[in-house]
Amino acid sequence: MRIGLSINYSGGFKEAAAEVADLERAGLDIVFVPEAYSFDAVSALGYLAAKTTRLQLASGILQIYTRTPSLTAMTAAGLDFVSDGRFILGLGASGPQVIEGFHGVPYDAPIGRTRELVEICRKVWRRERLEYHGKYYQIPLPEGQGTGLGKSLKLINHPVRERIPVLLASIGPKNVELTAEIAEGWQPIFFLPERAKQIWGESLDAGFAKRDPQLGDLDVYASPSLAIGDDVEPLLEFVKPHLALYIGGMGAKGKNFYHMLATKYGYGAEADRIQELYLAGKKEEAAKAVPDALARDTSLIGPAGYVKERVAAFAEAGVTVLNVSPMAATPAERVKLIEQLRELC
């Protein structure tokens, strides 16, 4: 089992890089840099590439709407170059709040756009002359659009790898099926090991049936909160606001993917209550309405023996990478948690 974590995207690069270097020495395998409506992830990833030597660097995630497919491919090739082949291209659709509210771009056709984006990226990395005529992307622009001066081009530089690993963040049935078909990695959210096969098994199997064998096995990245000790049970209360934010606040009623997931997990009535409270501005009450069992079962919080059992449950469910959120106040405490988890994996 490999171990990863996401850095705080609202913090400073220098402070994050110093901590990541310590975490690398402690046994961390992968670091993810999120991109919300903060500093861009690419700047931080390039900085971390210069400050680390072994661990992989992943975008967690780049939003599919905010860069052209060709720019995404160029960016990934550049990050793979400066990191000596350690980059993982994490992609996802994000949600209408960020895409339309911050970027002013329509949030449409996430599945179709993701497929075409990945296909274009792989053509760029192979240094093929870029000609692509899909439903959503036309490269070069066809006659009658633009100036008519666009010509087919190929990437000037030679990438370190012509197949940079692609990781897709997805939870919906069709999105997960696409992930299993075309990606090297899958990042679901709020992964509950005992329910994963029931929720996603059919979609994964459908995608695997169309998968190119050259892609190899699909890496599965779960993202549990982490705290190890005999007195850490109260920290579950600090997991609940994050769950409430997504279940209650990430989308309107009927259009919240995370609410739908919680419902599939068997918490439909609770999810409705969380959403009702959150959309009414009662965020603290919404967090308190998150079931203890949901917070516990999607986390790694408890004594070492219990955490080891839960790690085994995640592995049994197909997880290959634990992208943890250490619940600790200082960098030194976070490093200690990674060292402890390394011993349990």
pLDDT along the chain (345 residues), means of 10: 88 89 96 92 96 96 96 98 98 89 95 98 98 97 89 97 97 96 97 97 98 97 98 97 94 88 97 97 98 98 98 98 96 96 95
Is the domain of 31 the same as that of 135? yes
How far apart, in whole angstroms, are the C-alpha atoms of residue 44 and residue 50?
10
Is the domain of 64 the same as that of 183? yes
CATH classification of the domain holding 138:
3.20.20.30
Give residue 300's pLDDT.
Answer: 98
Q: Structure tokens of 274?
A: 């969380």
Is the domain of 305 the same as that of 295? no
DSSP assignment of 249-270: ISS-TT--HHHHHHHHTT-HHH
Give residue 330's pLDDT.
Answer: 93
Is the domain of 72 the same as that of 119? yes
Is the domain of 198 the same as that of 106? yes
Is the domain of 54 the same as that of 166? yes
| Domain hosting residue 275, numbered range | 231-299
| Cα-Cα-Cα-Cα dihedral sign, residues 183, 184, 188, 191 | positive
Give residue 251's pLDDT.
Answer: 78
Is the domain of 58 the same as that of 99? yes
| Cα-Cα-Cα-Cα dihedral sign, residues 240, 202, 176, 136 | negative
Strand locations in the chain (E): 2-6, 30-33, 56-59, 62-63, 87-92, 132-133, 138-139, 166-169, 185-187, 219-222, 225-228, 300-302, 321-326
| Cβ contacts of 330 within 8 Å, gap of 6 or more | none
Residue with tokens 């490999």: 2
The pTM score is 0.94
How far apart, in whole angstroms, are the C-alpha atoms of residue 261 and residue 179?
17
Contact indicator for 207, 177 with CB cutoff of 8 Å: yes
Give residue 72's pLDDT.
Answer: 98
Is the domain of 170 the same as that of 292? no
Give residue 38's pLDDT.
Answer: 87
Is the domain of 260 the same as that of 168? no
Is the domain of 121 the same as that of 88? yes
Is the domain of 45 the same as that of 174? yes
Residue type, 82: V
Is the domain of 241 the same as that of 107? no
Give residue 306's pLDDT.
Answer: 98
How far apart, in whole angstroms, are the C-alpha atoms of residue 110 and residue 310?
33
Provide the number of structural domains found in the chain: 2
